[in-house]
A = this chain, B = another copy of it.
């Protein structure tokens, strides 16, 4: 039945989206419990989880990874800096580019959310695996 293949494909896509939305909802609640907006939580995660293990990032890198405009990320970083969650240092190789890292308080809150979300992360991974 060629029709059935197509339907299964839509079912799979719909289930993927539904699982994702549930996960993001729980994630947003977990972030708020630590006094973080969902976007600020994402910022901290992107800095701490930099792809090269450096635990630091530039605004340009964050724009690409978060899929947000430069002005949005710049403001987000500024506010997180004012809130004592993020700090900036100059990059060694280019004095004009600031490398952002987490403050101990930023790290503490990120870890709290991250640990809180562990069961949901594992459940989502399991579900995506089944859909695969």
Show the binding face of A for B, using Cβ within 8 Å: 7, 9-15, 17-18, 20-22, 24-25, 42, 45-46, 48-51, 53, 55, 65-67, 110, 114, 121, 125, 128-129, 132
Contact = CB atoms under 8 A, between A and B. Distances in A.
A18 B66 contact: yes
A129 to B, nearest CB: 6
A contact patch SS:
helix
A114 B49 contact: no
A11 B50 contact: yes
A90 to B, nearest CB: 23
A112 to B, nearest CB: 13
A65 B132 contact: no
A18 B53 contact: no
A45 B14 contact: yes
